[in-house]
Chain A
Amino acid sequence: MNPILAGLKRCLLAAAMALGAVCSHAAPVTVTDDRGVTVNLPAPPQRIVSLLPSLTETVCELGSCASVVATDRYSNHPASVRTLPKTGGLDDANVEMIVALRPDVVLLAISSRVTDRLEALGLKVVALEPKTYEDVRRVASKVAQLLGAGAAGERLWQRMEAQVSHAARQVPAQARGLRVYYEVDSAPYAAGESSFIGHTLARLGLVNIVPAQLGPFPKLNPEYIVRADPQVIMVSARHGGTLPGRPGWSGIRAVKDKRICAFTAEEGNVLSRPGPRMGEAAEIMARCLKGIVPSGGAR
């Protein structure tokens, strides 16, 4: 029995080692990005430059934050990326600095202007553009694929989904079905039903006054909002105080009842990024709804 057991043990050990080898020196990775370009890497990237906050957050959320060597100016979450070198913004990315960092891969948005320049200089570029919930799911699994983390992307998505559902359960019953106007900026630009913010609002049981056919972030006639008479208004703290002063707005039910969610700049970052923190965004909205619509009170 002994030799057999020993042989079995050796076999198991060898198998475990082989499995470990597969995991650490993973096979080459292949990812087709949102431009339709297929990017091949000999191994999961050890040095990553991310030029979009939501992509930075996705990489970190998938456990590869240590591989990120630099980000764009606006990536500020999680806290550990704040100390990394900053390579500029959307339109002024510092090409020289990015090349000097010798990244294995650069993650950026499709609209970024440096893509061609970086590729011409021999860097691997993966362009991803998260805009909707579905995009976020796809981007999570693509990034996971790139990191050699396989199903982690889908798990991240499931976690986020659960968080949104949990937030939805926190919304007081009296708040369900209320008409909401979410102001992205004071022109006024709204978040419509078809935007990712609109999707979150719908999940929380609110009714958006801006239907999907007007587009994700339409510039509205202010009269439209007065006519729609929303019962809840979500707005940045920057513009929250100006609402009653706008012509005709003092009669809007949300303004009269002071059912206004004014989000700080920090919360605004979470709310405005289609990425792994959409669950947190839903929780922020739910918390505000709990505050302005006392449960059990009159509707």
Chain B
Amino acid sequence: MRWWAWAGGLVVLSLLLCGVGLSVGSTGWSPPWQAQGDPLAWQIAWDIRAPRCVGAWLAGALLALSGGIAQGLFRNPLADPYLLGSSSGAALGVALFLVLVGVSPVATGILVRMGLTGAAFVGAVLAVLLTLVLSKGVQHTLRLLLAGVVVGVVLGALTALTMLLEPDIMRAMQAFMLGTTGFLGWDSVMILWPMLLVSLLVAWGCSRALDALSLGDAAAISLGVRLGLVRVLLVGALALSTGTAVAQAGLISFVGLVAPHLVRSRVQSTQGPRLVLSALAGGILLLAADILARWVWAPLELPVGLLTAVLGGGYLLWRMHRMGVTS
């Protein structure tokens, strides 16, 4: 099957899931079109469920796209969007934010305006910058990877220390670390979609270079790829799209790792289409997880990050098992 046929199928599936998402809420299955004339039901559908569906889809797409970029750029199938320390940076940003807002009424005004999302975004971007400084630029892939891991561990430890000293923030931190799609509104959507568009354009533009890069650095250079520029662009897209997604929806695990693998296991193609399909698959994965998260125990909610791991990981394990049997 051609890749654009796959893309069309995934778009249709996304729209169908969105329809389901509009109909699932705190009372279980309750489609808004059944509650004609009830203004509250319409308000809930339009102000809460709709942005939540679109936002979850966009966040999943951003994470999967950055995962795909990371796996191509580092030529490592285990690479995920959080590789350059952005997740631990975001977590530390959120932890410090919660502590500061809790203790100092003076700082509260400015901080609240910046908000949790601002703190997470700033933390994520600063962590990637720190990684870049430690690795002295993007020239050496291995050094970049190592610096990212070190930054991740150190910032993670600082986050743990902050939580230890201020146990009040523990519950809020746990919610952030497991991912939360509950408070995605239209303002989140307005931040997410331009970022997805920009990242997709950058990724598409660099996809030929990624194809060449899969043969190794030397081969890519001999094919005329401006390696430095491509790396800067892709690391930039990776950092910004991950930072945006994490800031809006928390540390949702596994989407970024598993969505590109799902696509690779099904579709043979070059990097460009593969990245687009990864984004679509990631969106579907997170949207499906979000719908289940609010459906299974309504009106209670499961952490959406747990469900992405169960859904995506379960499917991938099943595929691996099947491939092991047939080959």
- Measuring CB to CB, which residues of chain A are less than 8 angstroms from any residue of chain B? 73-74, 89-90, 92, 184-189, 214-215, 218-224, 226-227, 229, 236-238, 241-242, 245-248, 251, 265, 268
Nearest opposing residue in chain B for A264, CB measure: B105
Which of B43-51, B82-90, B144-152, B219-227 is near enough to bind chain A?
Answer: B43-51
Which of B165-173, B204-212, B317-325 is near enough to bind chain A?
Answer: B165-173
Pick from B44, B112, B171, B183: contact of A189, CB under 8 Å: B171
Known: A184-B171, A227-B40, A265-B168. A221 touches B182 (CB 8 A): yes
Contacting pair A241 B27 (CB below 8 A): no
9 closest cross-chain pairs (CB), A and B: A247-B185, A224-B26, A187-B175, A224-B299, A248-B47, A185-B171, A221-B26, A223-B26, A248-B48
Which residues of A have CB within 8 Å of B102? 236-238, 265
How far, in angstroms, from A229 to B98 measured CA to CA in the complex? 27
Q: How far is the CB of B317 from chain A (nearest CB, A)?
A: 27
Known: A187-B172, A246-B185. A221 touches B298 (CB 8 A): yes
CB within 8 Å of A: which of B46-102? 47-49, 51-52, 98, 101-102
How far, in angstroms, from A220 to B183 measured CA to CA in the complex? 11
Which residues of B have CB within 8 Å of A268? 168
How far, in angstroms, from A229 to B43 measured CA to CA in the complex? 13
Q: Does B162 count as interface, using CB distance less than 8 angstroms?
A: no
Q: How far is the CB of B104 from chain A (nearest CB, A)?
A: 10
How far, in angstroms, from A237 to B100 measured CA to CA in the complex? 12
Contacting pair B301 A238 (CB below 8 A): no
Known: A92-B164, A247-B186. A227 touches B171 (CB 8 A): no
Which residues of B have CB within 8 Å of A89? 164, 167
Which residues of B have CB within 8 Å of A238? 98, 101-102
Contacting pair B301 A220 (CB below 8 A): yes
How far, in angstroms, from A251 to B43 measured CA to CA in the complex? 9
Which residues of A have CB within 8 Å of B164? 89, 92
Which residues of A have CB within 8 Å of B157? none
Contacting pair B103 A222 (CB below 8 A): no
Pick from B48, B101, B167: contact of A74, CB under 8 Å: B167
- Interface residue count on the B side (C-beta < 8 Å): 41
Nearest opposing residue in chain B for A92, CB measure: B164
Contacting pair B44 A227 (CB below 8 A): yes
Contacting pair A247 B26 (CB below 8 A): no
Listed residue (A189, A218, A219) with the most chain B CB atoms within 10 angstroms of its CB: A219
How far, in angstroms, from A80 to B47 measured CA to CA in the complex? 50
How far, in angstroms, from A223 to B184 measured CA to CA in the complex? 12
Which residues of A have CB within 8 Å of B186? 247
Q: A224-B299, A236-B102, A265-B168 given; name 7 further pairs at CB < 8 Å.
A: A187-B172, A188-B182, A220-B299, A226-B44, A229-B40, A247-B186, A248-B44
Q: How far is the CB of B139 from chain A (nearest CB, A)?
A: 41
Q: Chain B 273-316 against A: per-residue CB contact (8 Å), 1 yes, 0 no?
A: 00000000000000000000010001111110000000000000
**30 A-B Cβ contacts within 8 A?**
A92-B164, A184-B171, A185-B171, A185-B172, A187-B172, A187-B175, A187-B182, A187-B301, A189-B171, A214-B299, A215-B300, A220-B26, A220-B301, A222-B48, A222-B183, A223-B25, A223-B49, A223-B299, A224-B26, A226-B40, A226-B44, A227-B25, A227-B27, A227-B44, A241-B108, A242-B112, A242-B116, A245-B185, A248-B185, A251-B47
Q: Does B115 count as interface, using CB distance less than 8 angstroms?
A: yes
Which residues of A have CB within 8 Å of B115? 242, 245
Known: A186-B175, A219-B301, A223-B26. A247 touches B112 (CB 8 A): no
Nearest opposing residue in chain B for A225, CB measure: B26
Q: How far is the CB of A209 from chain B (nearest CB, A)?
A: 10
Q: How far is the CB of B112 from chain A (nearest CB, A)?
A: 4
Which residues of A have CB within 8 Å of B183? 186, 222, 246-247
Q: Does B180 count as interface, using CB distance less than 8 angstroms?
A: yes
Contacting pair B112 A241 (CB below 8 A): yes
How far, in angstroms, from A188 to B183 measured CA to CA in the complex? 9
How far, in angstroms, from A215 to B297 measured CA to CA in the complex? 12
Q: How far is the CB of A76 from chain B (nearest CB, A)?
A: 12
Nearest opposing residue in chain A for B300, CB measure: A218
How far, in angstroms, from A242 to B101 measured CA to CA in the complex? 12
How far, in angstroms, from A92 to B164 measured CA to CA in the complex? 9
Q: How far is the CB of B30 from chain A (nearest CB, A)?
A: 10
How far, in angstroms, from A92 to B105 measured CA to CA in the complex? 30
Contacting pair B47 A221 (CB below 8 A): no
Q: How far is the CB of B28 from chain A (nearest CB, A)?
A: 10
Q: How far is the CB of B180 from chain A (nearest CB, A)?
A: 6
How far, in angstroms, from A237 to B105 measured CA to CA in the complex? 9
Which residues of B have CB within 8 Å of A184? 171
How far, in angstroms, from A214 to B108 measured CA to CA in the complex? 33
Nearest opposing residue in chain B for A74, CB measure: B167
Pick from B167, B168, B184: contact of A247, CB under 8 Å: B184
